[in-house]
Structure 1
Amino acid sequence: MKRHLRGHAYGAVVAVGVLLASSACSSPSADSTQPKADLATRTVRPVDGCGDTSWTDPADRSPTRGPARCRPGAPAPQPLPEPRKLTIATGTLSAEYVAPLQVAIDKGEFKQEGLDVTLKVLPTPDALPLLAKGDIDALWAAPEAAVMNGVRGGFDIRWVAGNFSPDPKSKSGLWVRLGDGESPDRVAMAGRRMGTMIGKGSVIAYPMEKALEAHGGGLDRIQYQQLGSADVLTALQNGGVDSAWLLDPVWRRVDGEPGYAFLGGQPLGEPLGGMLYGPSLLDDDVDAGVALLRGYVRTINTYFATDYKKNETFVTYLAKLLKSDEAILRSTPPLRMDWEIRTGTTDRLQAAYRAQGVTEGDTLPEPKTVNRALYEEAVGHRP
């Protein structure tokens, strides 16, 4: 059964998702700060193969924190009594962070749960109203400004599982072209022009803010120039912009080159995106919501638990599955796949969005933005 939002909330959500409207949207529906009744009363049982290492304290933001892990093949499938078709929206099918979903489908991990999962390519602003309405079941993205504004405007949406944190060797993030007399330790960022393919309102605002503030800048003290993915590096190299947010594997083109400096990237040990659920899996069919995360967690434990790029056969398979260049895939460090969500991440993201001027109002409390209960049930953790 699909549940539909009230008309006034749905209309506000469309505006929020497409226009990044402020918190002046129509007032939210019933208070959603309390746990869903069916989640609060569900029985959580120990899961074979998922012991003490299958959960880490959400407050632990140590860069050296190891991600939670169960044994390969765990948690074991628990097929639903009736098969269920699910649609997950994602901005891309080829990025490495989508690999666990692609592998789970290809290897039949979701099918073992009784789930027929389809990935549908949709940008987050287009997917949000569909998720809130129940026309799609989940969104593989991040709690971006559009999501936060949507929740404020009436969305019944929660961030329910993380995706990854970077390898310590990764230099995906903020790069700057050094001026005369500048050293990588002392870069004056205030007033610089930054090239980015993502623009304002993305989760990179949070790590970018940290990097800028360490060098005399700030999200409100730089100029943004949104560019196509193929143009960001070129603009940085030819002087069209002073700095740029370079993704894997583009940063390798300037790494070690004189005149460039890496100022920082995504925090180690802190996922900034992953799975978002709407009412379809939060309310209408929680069993399917848990089953989807169980298949996802099992895929990580089976195929991505350690440095998966040391397995040459698997990297070849992954490149074909993602339709990506195998040499490029091998050229960057592996992602640290991580299904857990750290305490306070959405607070820090919202602070960055306010600094960019793409959201207003008080910070939404974490129970309105995050729900860890489903992945905790999947691994048998009792809070």
Structure 2
Amino acid sequence: MRTRTPTVAVLLAALALGTGCAAHKDSAAVRGPRTVKPVRGCGPASWTDPADLAPDRAPARCAKGAPAPRPLARRRTLTIATGTLSAEYVAPLRLALAKGEFAKEGLDVRLKVLPTPEALPLLAKGELDALWAAPEAAVVNGINGGFDIRWVAGNFSPAPKSRSGLWARLKSGESASSVSLAGSRMGTMIGKGSVIMYPMARTFAGHGAGLDSVAFQQLGSADVLTALTGGGVDSAWLLDPVWRRVDGDKRYAFLGGQPQGEPLGGALYGPNLLQRDPDAGVAFLRAYLRTVNTYFAGDYKAGQAFVAGLARLLDVDAKILTSVPSLRMDWEIRKGTADRLQKAYREAGVTRGAPLPEKRLVDRSFYAEAVGHRIPK
């Protein structure tokens, strides 16, 4: 009996739900016009041009404590799915809960651990309100099948000093610039449907390889580094803080990672917040943005007391947390990211059909309203 892959299962679930009419329209247009007012503490720096792809672009920021809470007239309970509660990119959500930032907005937020393929049908049916993850191939397939889901906010991009990404074992006489990956074996704990396929494809291209010319070997988190150092694979995608184990070792070279200044994940909304209760959707992001501006605006690992509290909150070792640079927390979504992701998915063979236009995948209007920015029509 053939086993369904998560991507196929999500697509079939989408078709079973039907191809809802709103799913094929601009979600902001379906909601209708909303009044966007200036927000104190959120000036010109609170919005950057989505077309600015400079790696050293300063992420959007408001003043500390801004945007201020605007409690909803009626208290709402929101259930947010996430694949993990201990990853650093989830830290703003965990801290917003701990500091009562969601409560200040009139929201009772509950985090539920669920992998993306399982969460997507629930999000589309309204049994979940949002997903803290990434627009993976399963999301694209789901939207193609009728899911009313949009990527509404970013999460982070790597720090300039981060070396989380693709590492290769050097042969005699090779250097980082001369490594050829064509015909090589690569170890990864991430499947081909992950957003990491985009930076991976870009790095492959810079080293004479395409996604179809590299043999992928999916491994457990504890086995990826062992396979690289033991010769089982020629290259490996090493996450924080695993790459520290080979950093500085001349037998290995860092070839590239997630693009700086370009978030690849964050908040995904379903019909509950997109259409039925956009006020709660804006309030949720307002609390998230305020937490970033207050606690994660810069190098948040510079303060020992803050790091200690964050480590306790995430249930990780503070030494491990500080062994890698602070993430650049960034709530904005860059222009063209959705297109680049879809291109990588098609090359990897995990999506089918014509690429979706950006408006079918992305909606920037929620975080724009939270900082008082009017998006031109």
**Taking structure 2 as the reference length, what is the TM-score of the superposition?**
0.95
Query: Does the CA contact (< 8 Å) of 1:161 and 1:274 recur in 2?
Result: yes
Residue 164 of structure 2: which of 145, 163, 172 is its match?
A: 172
Letter in 2 for 1:340: E
TM superposition outliers: structure 1 runs of 4+ over 4 Å = 14-18, 24-27
Paired AA for residue 285 in structure 1: D
The whole-number CA distance in structure 2 between the counterparts of 1:73 and 1:350 is 36
Task: Name 1:116's counterpart in structure 2.
Answer: 108
Partner-residue secondary structure (3-state), 1:296: helix
**Hey, what does 2:175 align to over in structure 1?**
183
Task: Tell me, yes or no, if the aligned pair for 1:21 and 1:358 is still in contact at 8 Å.
Answer: no
The aligned residue for residue 93 of structure 2 is 101
Please give the root-mean-square deviation of Cα atoms over the aligned residues, in Å.
Answer: 1.8
1:341 maps to which residue? 333
Residues 1:148 and 2:164 aligned together? no
Shift of 1:18: 5.4
What does residue range 281-300 of structure 1 map to in structure 2 within 5 Å?
281-300=273-292
CA distance in structure 2 between the partners assigned to 1:39 and 1:61 by the alignment: 29
| Amino acid in structure 1 at the alignment position of 2:242 | V
Residue 175 of structure 1 aligns with an amino acid whose one-letter code is: W
Q: 1:38 to 1:147 in 2, by over 3 A?
A: closer
Aligned counterpart in structure 1 of residue 358 of structure 2, from 356, 366, 370: 366
Please state if 1:52 is matched with 2:28: no
Task: Please say if 1:269 is aligned against 2:264.
Answer: no
TM-superposed CA distance for 1:222, in Å, is 0.4
Which ranges of structure 1 fall in alignment gaps of 5 or more residues?
1-13
Deviations 1:225-247 (A, max 9, x none): 11111110011110111110000
C-alpha displacement of 1:360: 1.2
Does residue 298 of structure 2 align to residue 302 of structure 1? no
Aligned equivalents of 2:121, 2:279: Cα separation in 1: 23
Q: Report the counterpart of residue 157 of structure 1 in structure 2.
A: 149
Q: Does residue 311 of the first structure (1) align with residue 297 of the second (2)?
A: no
Which residue in 2 is equivalent to 1:7?
none
Partner of residue 84, structure 2: 92
Q: Does 1:30 align with 2:14?
A: no
Question: Which residue identity is paired with 1:314?
Answer: F
Query: Aligned residue for 2:196?
Result: 204
Deviation of 1:181 (Å): 2.4
Q: Which runs of 5+ in 2 are unaligned?
A: none
Q: Choose the corresponding residue for 2:344, options 325, 334, 352.
A: 352
Q: Please, what TM-score do these two structures have when normalized by structure 1?
A: 0.94
Indicate conservation of the 8 Å contact 2:10/2:121, yes or no: no
- Deviation (angstroms), 1:356: 0.5
Instruction: Tell me which residue corresponds to 1:11.
Output: none
Counterparts of 2:263 and 2:89, CA distance in 1: 11
How far, CA to CA, are the matches of 1:216 and 1:16 in structure 2?
A: 31
Please give the per-residue CA displacement for 1:241-289, whole angstroms capped at 9, x wherever unaligned. 1110000110010011021010000001000000000001001111100
Letter paired with 2:193: G
2:19 aligned partner, one-letter code:
P
Separation (CA, whole Å) in 2 of partners of 1:301 and 1:319: 19
Report how far residue 330 of structure 1 moved: 0.6
Give percent identity, aligned residues only. 67
Which SS does the other structure have where 1:289 is aligned?
A: helix
CA contact (8 A) 1:195 1:224 kept: yes
Q: Which of residues 213, 219, 225 in structure 1 aligns to 2:217?
A: 225
Looking at structure 1, the residues matched to 35 and 334 of structure 2 have their Cα atoms a distance apart, in angstroms, of 24
What is the CA-CA distance between 1:179 and the residue it aligns to?
A: 1.7
Aligned residues between the structures = 370
Return the offset for 1:33.
3.1
Aligned to 2:272: 280
Distance across 2 between alignment mates of 1:21 and 1:291: 30
* TM-aligned CA deviation for residue 16 of structure 1: 6.5
What is the 5 A alignment of 1:119-134?
A: 119-134=111-126
